[in-house]
């Protein structure tokens, strides 16, 4: 008796391969990485026929129409596309309702200062050289070329010979595509095993809210909303729509590539019409046209990815306000005509959200790409199906069906959105990741620190420090102690962490300087700028640090090193007020505006220059503003310092105004006329800059980027069974 394996459909084989891939990835871990090559080869094989298929299918499909039918197709297709996009945007904004009500802020990011790059829509859409467009995979330009040629063919006599040849060639390409699709289970296994073997649990930490939200809403749209909309207005049943589209959806999920399943979607359209007894040459032709055309518009998976911008704003405390939604809708839609890897950084910059969040998006993209492509396939299939039915007069409106399906859609949406928010709020708690990072920062390999927290009286300083006739550098080397004036509340330059240790960018710099000079200890002495010149002149301190701005008043009493950093002015205010203070011209009209500035700093001068009607209030302690101990409505400081303060006070945010207030340099102050020490510091800082030491310190202290290395991926084979290969 011969044993026969049960015959399985392609969809079931893909599901089995998917499960086996996850199991293999979890068991073998990073040793499955070699399968990534097989997965990439599979995706490349699927792409072989797609671009030429789009080219010939569009020319053939449009060329075989009459002008009347083409106009109907363009008009009704445009209306339907607007309806579909409106539905998608509703769910993009509903995604924001899933986020828990946490307050959060982030470190400064230089990307918030960069002017966004413009997408070259001319090169993307105008096929000045069709062969270049095809060689460089510029699908929109190839589509425009195909549409133009197809329209030209409509009115040409004797076009049948050309169209017949194209039809035969399209069938041949379809057969090749079907051959490649048979390899889908193998490709699915390779891709899934590679992804499951390389993704670490730590990488889920910062993106779990976005992941849960995206996966939940995309599944809701794919499995319920789209089939319900189709069943509500077409002759096809809900169950039939899901059954016929299953292969396309699973292949889309496996490959993560909508481009390669265009032929499968077209075939599914034909199958659905054939099962309902409605298939004819016109339905086939219209389906062949609509699927590749709609592919060139931003797909549903991409559209839902716009929710990442809302997530990034929520995560960093830079939420997009209602007044910016109009800009978000149209800027987001236009940017999605290009690559998501260009669109996401562009939109982050556009809405002044730290650009390093893009790295989080890339990690999330590994997971959500499968669901995004499956959603895109569902919407492409649904759009083409509904449009063909509309053009053929098959749309049917039944009040009973409308009420039933709209009730299902409404109730399921409410349950999913509210349930997701409740689940995220109860299961996940605010991580305060940035605050923990700020509080855990430390100076590596410190020398001995002696930190005075109060300014000693002059008599005590004179007894403690005696003047010496030696050169300044010689004095430091002989006493083996570097004396540094500091401000204990100058984040991120000098501040106390929860352990009581003095840390910060400038503290790190002077620690390295002390080692360079052979010092065994550093004595930190707090100062006020009113007496810093005297302290330097009397040799009570060797230098003053803590992000001191170089301005005209200060250079009259002390000498400064060359700027080691340039800071960018910004306003700190309550989160809900940020939109009000991003427009400098609009601020001119605010009556009686009170702006807090640091005493002795450059802030008062800038307020007088840029906001003449405003009143500046000098603060000896910046913390007074955050704790409500001043009448100042907003705080003018640098974006770098303000971002650090908002991590400690997350209900506040940073608004970088347009037009920009000029940036300013910060340097280290030394005694007036102490040229020897000043020259030494300048040359030493230059060496630090050339060795990229200052840049590394900037990334750590100002941008909050840890230099920790990626850990090995956990796997069952090595960590459970202790088997080493």
The two most distant CA atoms of the chain are separated, in Å, by: 107
Alpha carbon of 206 to those of 243, 363, 597: distances in Å?
36, 10, 34
The stretch 179-205 carries a mean pLDDT of: 71
**Domains of the chain, first to last:** 10-433 (1.10.3860.10), 442-564+667-696 (3.40.190.10), 569-662 (3.40.190.10)
The DSSP 8-state label assigned to residue 604 in this structure reads H
The stretch 274-289 carries a mean pLDDT of: 83
pLDDT tens, position by position, 652-670: 888 888 878 878 889 999 9
pLDDT at 709: 45
pLDDT at 185: 81
Task: Give which of 249, 300, 61, 266 is closest to 177, Cα–Cα.
Answer: 266
pLDDT at 102: 67
For residues 577 and 120, the model is more confident at 577
Report how far residue 539's alpha carbon sits from residue 469's, in angstroms, rounded to the nearest whole number. 11
Compute and round to an integer the Cα radius of gyration of the chain.
32
Whether 513 has a pLDDT exceeding 90, the answer reads: yes
Query: What pairing do the DSSP bridges indicate for beta strands 569-574 and 634-638?
Result: antiparallel
pLDDT at 112: 62
What backbone phi and psi angles, to 5 degrees, belong to 112?
Answer: -70, -10
Lowest mean pLDDT among 129-133, 252-256, 672-676: 252-256
The stretch 145-161 carries a mean pLDDT of: 85
Report how far residue 87's alpha carbon sits from residue 176's, in angstroms, rounded to the nearest whole number. 35
User: For residue 617, how many C-alpha atoms fall within 13 Å in the half-sphere facing its CB?
Assistant: 16
The stretch 501-509 carries a mean pLDDT of: 93
pLDDT tens, position by position, 70-129: 787 788 888 888 898 899 999 999 998 888 876 666 677 666 665 555 556 677 678 888
What backbone phi and psi angles, to 5 degrees, belong to 387?
Answer: -65, -40
Confidence of residue 216 (pLDDT cuts 50, 70, 90): very high
- And the tokens for 234? 């077409």
- Contact in structure between 247 and 10 (CB atoms under 8 Å): yes
- And the tokens for 567? 């800071």
Whether 562 has a pLDDT exceeding 90, the answer reads: yes
Lowest mean pLDDT among 183-192, 209-218, 502-511: 183-192
Lowest mean pLDDT among 52-56, 215-219, 587-591: 52-56
Report how far residue 492's alpha carbon sits from residue 335's, in angstroms, rounded to the nearest whole number. 35
For residues 724 and 690, the model is more confident at 690
pLDDT at 139: 66
Report how far residue 423's alpha carbon sits from residue 512's, in angstroms, rounded to the nearest whole number. 48
- And the tokens for 161? 């010979």
Report how far residue 648's alpha carbon sits from residue 92's, in angstroms, rounded to the nearest whole number. 30
pLDDT at 3: 46
For the chain, the first-to-last Cα distance in angstroms comes to 41
pLDDT tens, position by position, 343-373: 777 777 777 777 667 656 765 666 787 888 8
Whether 484 has a pLDDT exceeding 90, the answer reads: yes
- pTM attached to this predicted model: 0.62
Lowest mean pLDDT among 48-52, 142-146, 620-624: 48-52
- And the tokens for 408? 């299902």
What region, left, alpha or beta, does residue 256 occupy, with left being phi > 0 and alpha being psi -120 to 50 degrees?
left
What region, left, alpha or beta, does residue 384 occupy, with left being phi > 0 and alpha being psi -120 to 50 degrees?
alpha
- Contact in structure between 70 and 62 (CB atoms under 8 Å): yes
Q: Where are the alpha helices (H) located in 221-306, listed in sequence order?
A: 226-233, 238-255, 262-275, 281-295, 300-305
Confidence of residue 1 (pLDDT cuts 50, 70, 90): very low
Report how far residue 451's alpha carbon sits from residue 486's, in angstroms, rounded to the nearest whole number. 10
pLDDT tens, position by position, 539-558: 888 999 988 888 888 888 89
pLDDT tens, position by position, 292-347: 777 767 788 888 988 988 888 887 766 776 667 777 887 777 667 655 766 777 77
pLDDT at 485: 92
Alpha carbon of 673 to those of 395, 435, 528, 627: distances in Å?
87, 41, 21, 40
pLDDT at 145: 86
């Amino acid at each position: 008796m011969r044993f026969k394996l049960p015959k399985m459909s392609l969809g079931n084989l893909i599901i089995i391969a998917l499960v086996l891939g996850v199991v293999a990835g979890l068991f073998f871990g990073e040793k499955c990485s070699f399968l990534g090559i097989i997965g990439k080869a599979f995706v490349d094989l699927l792409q072989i026929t797609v671009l030429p298929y789009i080219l010939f299918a569009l020319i053939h499909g449009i060329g075989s129409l009459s002008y009347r039918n083409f106009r109907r197709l363009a008009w009704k297709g445009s209306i339907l596309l607007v309806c579909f996009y409106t539905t998608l945007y509703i769910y993009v904004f509903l995604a924001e309702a899933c986020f828990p009500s946490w307050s959060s802020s982030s470190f400064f990011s230089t990307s918030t200062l960069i002017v966004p790059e413009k997408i070259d829509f001319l090169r993307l859409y105008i096929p000045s050289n069709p062969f270049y467009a095809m060689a460089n995979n510029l699908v929109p330009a190839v589509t425009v070329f195909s549409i133009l040629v197809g329209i030209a063919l409509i009115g040409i006599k004797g076009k049948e010979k050309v169209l017949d040849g194209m039809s035969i060639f399209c069938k041949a390409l379809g057969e090749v595509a079907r051959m490649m699709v048979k390899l889908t289970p193998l490709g699915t296994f390779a891709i899934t095993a590679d992804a499951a073997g390389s993704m670490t649990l730590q990488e889920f930490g910062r993106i779990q809210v976005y992941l849960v939200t995206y996966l939940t809403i995309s599944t809701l749209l794919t499995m319920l909303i789209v089939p319900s909309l189709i069943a509500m207005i077409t002759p096809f049943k809900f169950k039939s729509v899901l059954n016929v589209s299953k292969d396309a959806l699973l292949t889309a999920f496996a490959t993560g590539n909508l481009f390669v399943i265009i032929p499968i979607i077209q075939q599914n359209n034909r199958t659905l019409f054939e099962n309902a007894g409605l298939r004819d040459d016109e339905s086939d032709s219209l389906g062949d046209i609509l699927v590749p055309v709609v592919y060139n518009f931003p797909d549903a998976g991409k559209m839902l990815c716009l929710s990442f911008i809302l997530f990034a704003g929520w995560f960093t405390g830079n939420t997009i306000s209602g007044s910016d939604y109009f800009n978000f809708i149209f800027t987001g839609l236009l940017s999605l005509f290009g690559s998501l890897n260009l669109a996401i950084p562009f939109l982050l910059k556009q809405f002044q959200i730290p650009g390093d969040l893009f790295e989080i998006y890339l990690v999330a993209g590994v997971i959500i790409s499968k669901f995004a492509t499956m959603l895109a396939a569902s919407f492409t299939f649904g759009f083409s199906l509904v449009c063909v039915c509309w053009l053929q007069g098959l749309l049917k409106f039944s009040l009973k069906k409308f009420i039933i399906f709209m009730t299902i859609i409404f109730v399921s949406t409410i349950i999913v959105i509210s349930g997701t928010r409740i689940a995220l709020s109860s299961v996940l708690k605010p991580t305060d990741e940035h605050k923990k990072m700020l509080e855990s920062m430390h100076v590596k390999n410190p020398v001995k620190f002696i930190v005075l927290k109060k300014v000693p009286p002059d008599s005590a300083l004179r007894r403690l420090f005696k003047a010496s006739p030696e050169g300044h550098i010689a004095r430091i080397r002989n006493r083996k102690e570097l004396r540094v004036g500091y401000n204990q509340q100058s984040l991120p330059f000098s501040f106390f962490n929860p352990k009581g240790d003095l840390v910060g960018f400038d503290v790190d710099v002077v620690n390295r300087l002390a080692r360079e000079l052979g010092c065994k200890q550093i004595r930190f002495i707090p100062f006020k700028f009113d007496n810093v010149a005297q302290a330097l002149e009397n040799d009570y301190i060797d230098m003053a640090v803590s992000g001191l701005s170089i301005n005209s008043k200060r250079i009259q009493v002390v000498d400064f090193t060359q700027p080691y950093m340039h800071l960018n002015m910004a306003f700190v205010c309550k989160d809900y007020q940020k939109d009000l203070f991003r427009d400098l011209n609009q601020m001119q009209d605010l009556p009686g505006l009170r702006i807090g500035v640091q005493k002795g700093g450059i802030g008062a001068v800038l307020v007088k220059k840029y906001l003449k009607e405003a009143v500046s209030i000098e603060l000896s302690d910046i913390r007074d503003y955050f704790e409500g101990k001043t009448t100042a409505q907003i705080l003018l400081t640098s974006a770098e310092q303000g971002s650090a303060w908002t991590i400690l006070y997350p209900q506040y945010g940073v608004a970088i105004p347009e037009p920009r207030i000029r940036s300013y340099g910060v340097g280290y102050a030394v005694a007036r006329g102490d040229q020897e020490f000043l020259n030494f510091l300048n040359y030493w800082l230059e060496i630090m800059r050339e060795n990229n030491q200052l840049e590394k310190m900037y990334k750590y202290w100002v941008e909050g980027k840890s230099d920790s290395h990626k850990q090995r991926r956990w796997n069952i084979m090595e960590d459970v069974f202790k088997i080493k290969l």
